[in-house]
Amino acid sequence: MGTFSVWHWLIVLVVVLVLFGGGGKIPKLMRDMGQGINAFKKGLKEDKQDKAEDGAAIEQSSAQEDSEKREKNAANS
C-alpha cells in the first residue's frame, strides 16, 4: 500500500494539469495531438503514393530498356 500504481500517477497528473494548467490547455493539447495524428496519416498516404509512382517509373524504365535491347538485337541480326 506504500507504492502507487501507474493509474494512481495518471490520475494525479490529470488533477495537477487541471488545477495548475487551467481548462484551456487540455483542449489545446488534445487538438495539437489530433493534428499530429492527422499529419502522420497524411504522411503515410503520401509515402504510399510515392512508392506507387516510383514503382510505375521503374516499370516504365524497365520496359524502355527491354525495347532498346530488342532494337539492338534486331539491328545486329
30 versus 68: the higher-pLDDT residue is 30
Statement: the pTM of the whole predicted model exceeds 0.75: no
Per-domain residue ranges of the chain: 25-76
Distance CA 38, CA 25 (A): 20
Angle between helices 6-21 and 25-76 (to 10 degrees): 110
Per residue in 8-64, pLDDT tens? 999 998 888 777 776 677 778 888 989 999 999 999 898 888 887 777 777 777 777
What pLDDT shows up at residue 19? 76
**Terminal CA-to-CA distance of the chain, rounded, Å?**
90
Radius of gyration (C-alpha) of the chain in whole angstroms: 29
Does residue 26 contact residue 18 with C-beta atoms inside 8 Å?
A: yes
Distance CA 16, CA 30 (A): 16
Would you say residue 1 has pLDDT above 60?
Answer: no
